[in-house]
Amino acid sequence: MKSNDITIALIALLFTLPSTHADDKPPVTAKTVTNSIGMKLNRIRAGRFPMGSSLIASPKTPEYPEHLVRISRDYYIGVTEVTQGQWEAVMGTRPWTGEDHIKTGPNYPATYVSWENATAFCQRLSKREKEDYRLPTEAEWEYACRTGTKTTKYNFGDDVSALKEHAWFKVNAYDVGQMYAHQVGLKRPNAWGLYDMHGNVDEWCLDWFGEYENGAIVDPTGPAKGSLRVYRGGSWSRAARYSESASRLRSKPASNFYFLGFRVVRLTRDGR
């Protein structure tokens, strides 16, 4: 058998093997860890989900095509976006100082942070905590956002009128004169205990931006190279459609904006 045929066969096997957690919601009492700067992270169990969207427009939407993704290992993800207080504790800086559309305080999201700066934060936090921190891949981010909802627009369903309960977005922030990111964790969390996966601030992901592969894939990390990095989730200044679970946008790695922050992933090891 040729090496390419072996690779295809192994991927197919990964998608057909039974898994205790595949496609299921983690238990309500999912493990939470708290690190030395007070950052809480919830454990997300491995599983499978349909990533992206089956809808196609002209020009082709970046969420197309919908494709099956398997997350092969558990991981921890921040319960909220990285806050200003957490950023200062690790980096000792305040990149948002003096910038527009900013409220300051330890529980507001850290913004005006580029992808490069967010990556530097993860590296420094890893050294401090002696754990492996990084930005989430697009697949990890969307899997954690969807919480088993599979193909609905939002992790609570398709009813956009309910978005106000779960997210700060254009209608209940920008349009009413609240032109800034709000304190984290004020809206309803998703089923896996994660706040602000819809709205408040967009969030950097690890991947370079590129078109999705049309087929099942295990632990995708995006293209090997590119010029733009992905960010997800929507923000207080954007319309509801940008807060959908599958929505994806992109920008240069050195870009920093008032609407853009990030959350982190901590890798599991030795069963922890």
Per-residue CA distances from 190 to 132, 220, 236, 262 (Å): 25, 23, 18, 17
pLDDT at 23: 54
Secondary structure class of 203 (helix, strand, coil): strand
Model pLDDT for residues 221-253, shown as the tens digit of each residue: 999 999 999 999 999 999 999 999 999 999 999
271 pLDDT band, cuts 50/70/90, is: low
Average pLDDT estimate for 39-61: 88
For the chain, the domains span 3-267
pLDDT at 44: 96
Q: In whole angstroms, what is the distance from residue 87 CA to residue 81 CA? A: 10
256 pLDDT band, cuts 50/70/90, is: very high
176 pLDDT band, cuts 50/70/90, is: very high
pLDDT at 43: 96
Between 75 and 3, the higher pLDDT residue: 75
Model pLDDT for residues 184-197, shown as the tens digit of each residue: 999 999 999 999 99
User: How is residue 181 annotated by DSSP?
Assistant: P
pLDDT at 137: 98
Q: In whole angstroms, what is the distance from residue 211 CA to residue 146 CA? A: 20
Are 216 and 228 in contact by the 8 Å Cβ rule? The answer is no
What φ, ψ does residue 61 adopt, rounded to 5°? -70, 145
Between 19 and 243, the higher pLDDT residue: 243
Mean pLDDT score of the chain: 90
Average pLDDT estimate for 91-114: 98
pLDDT at 20: 31
149 pLDDT band, cuts 50/70/90, is: confident
pLDDT at 166: 98
Nearest alpha carbon to residue 155 among 146, 168, 142, 164: 146
pLDDT at 269: 81
pLDDT at 59: 62
Amino acid code (one letter) for 136: P
Q: In whole angstroms, what is the distance from residue 221 CA to residue 205 CA? A: 10
pLDDT at 91 over 60: yes
73 pLDDT band, cuts 50/70/90, is: very high
pLDDT at 25: 55
Average pLDDT estimate for 192-210: 98
CATH number at 3-267: 3.90.1580.10
The strand pair at 133-134 and 75-78 is best described as: unpaired
Name the H helices within 26-162. 84-91, 115-129, 138-146
User: pTM of the full predicted structure?
Assistant: 0.90
Model pLDDT for residues 155-172, shown as the tens digit of each residue: 999 999 999 999 999 999
Classify residue 161 as exposed, middle or buried by CB count within 10 Å of its CB (0-12, 13-18, 19+). Answer: exposed
